[in-house]
């Protein structure tokens, strides 16, 4: 897979806090951490996405398929259920457009697909020419949710990322990247298919760049 340098950059990560204080036979009360610190890592950086795509492309007989699904999941903020349901009739390779049917009562949208994605999808179509679903198994059935999770998790291990990687981290990475790039919150909402803008605000709340033009001196 030759898409290492084509992955969209994402914003810096807020690492989870993990503190295990040693005890010397005394019972201690651990310091309460913020709610965010209890959570596992929520999203990936540009470099980590790049590593993930590269690693997926080197594993197994379906490396190109797996690297492509990671790229599309990230660039279009796809949920796993949206990814596995993607069909070739939703993609117009000539116009460079992809129709996304958002689930969870989300708003459907049409996304542009760029050079790296177009090249990857064209190759995928040559490799799997008669299948209706973009991402299919050897049995010619759409990949299952569990298969997607295994593919992404395996790529994370292969890339030697120091934490467990799951597909939804790619959707969050997309949201944080768009916020970091200064995109309008409403535009991000429509891009990710959120019905409730409160689900989108989380990305702008953690983007430090939203303050950069407050002072001009």
- Annotated catalytic residue within 2, 58, 104, 140: 104
Kindly indicate the confidence band of residue 214, based on its pLDDT and cuts at 50, 70 and 90: very low
Nearest to 17 by CA among 5, 4, 44, 35: 35
- 200 in Cβ contact with 194 (< 8 Å): yes
97 strand-pairing partners = 92, 112
- Provide the edge-to-edge strand list for the sheet that holds 91-92: 91-92, 97-100, 109-112
Radius of gyration, alpha carbons of the chain: 19
- 69 in Cβ contact with 41 (< 8 Å): no
Neighbours of 206 (CB within 10 A): 18
- Kind of pairing, strands 109-112 and 91-92? unpaired
> Would residue 62 show up in a list of annotated catalytic residues for this protein?
no
pTM score of the predicted model: 0.73
Nearest to 68 by CA among 129, 126, 16, 116: 116
> Would residue 203 show up in a list of annotated catalytic residues for this protein?
yes
Nearest to 3 by CA among 60, 61, 69, 62: 69
What pLDDT, on the 0 to 100 scale, is given for residue 153? Answer: 96
Q: Give the C-alpha separation, 202 to 196, whole Å.
A: 11
- Annotated catalytic residue within 99, 168, 199, 210: 168
Total length of the chain: 217
> Would residue 168 show up in a list of annotated catalytic residues for this protein?
yes
> Would residue 171 show up in a list of annotated catalytic residues for this protein?
yes
Reported as a single tens digit per residue, the pLDDT across 52-72 is: 999 999 988 999 999 999 999
Reported as a single tens digit per residue, the pLDDT across 94-136 is: 999 999 998 877 788 899 999 999 999 999 999 988 899 999 9
> Would residue 32 show up in a list of annotated catalytic residues for this protein?
no
Q: How far is CA 164 from the centre of its chain?
A: 14
* 4 pLDDT higher than 80: no
Q: Give the C-alpha separation, 125 to 133, whole Å.
A: 10
Q: What value does the mean pLDDT of the chain take?
A: 79
Q: Give the C-alpha separation, 81 to 102, whole Å.
A: 9
Complete domains list, the chain, with CATH: 38-207 (1.10.443.10)
Kindly indicate the confidence band of residue 194, based on its pLDDT and cuts at 50, 70 and 90: confident
- Annotated catalytic residue within 41, 65, 79, 172: 79
> Would residue 212 show up in a list of annotated catalytic residues for this protein?
no
92 strand-pairing partners = 97
């Amino acid at each position: 897979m030759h898409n290492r340098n084509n992955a969209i950059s994402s914003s810096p990560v807020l690492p989870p806090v993990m503190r295990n204080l040693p005890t010397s036979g005394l019972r201690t009360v651990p310091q309460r951490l913020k709610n965010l610190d209890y959570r596992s890592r929520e999203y990936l950086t540009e470099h980590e996405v790049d590593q993930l795509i590269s690693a997926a492309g080197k594993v197994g007989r379906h490396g190109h398929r797996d690297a492509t699904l990671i790229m599309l999941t990230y660039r279009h903020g796809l949920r796993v259920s949206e990814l596995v349901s993607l069909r070739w009739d939703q993609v117009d390779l000539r116009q460079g457009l992809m129709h996304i049917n958002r689930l969870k009562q989300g708003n459907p949208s049409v996304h542009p697909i760029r050079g790296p994605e177009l090249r990857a999808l064209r190759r995928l179509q040559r490799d799997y020419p008669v299948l209706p679903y973009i991402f299919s198994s050897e049995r010619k059935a759409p990949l299952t949710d569990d298969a997607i999770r295994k593919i992404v998790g395996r790529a994370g291990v292969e890339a030697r990322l120091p934490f467990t990687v799951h597909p939804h981290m790619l959707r969050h990475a997309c949201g944080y990247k768009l916020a970091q790039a200064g995109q309008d919150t409403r535009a991000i909402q429509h891009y990710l298919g959120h019905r409730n803008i409160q689900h989108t605000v989380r990305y702008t709340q953690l983007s430090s760049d939203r303050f950069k033009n407050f002072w001009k001196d």
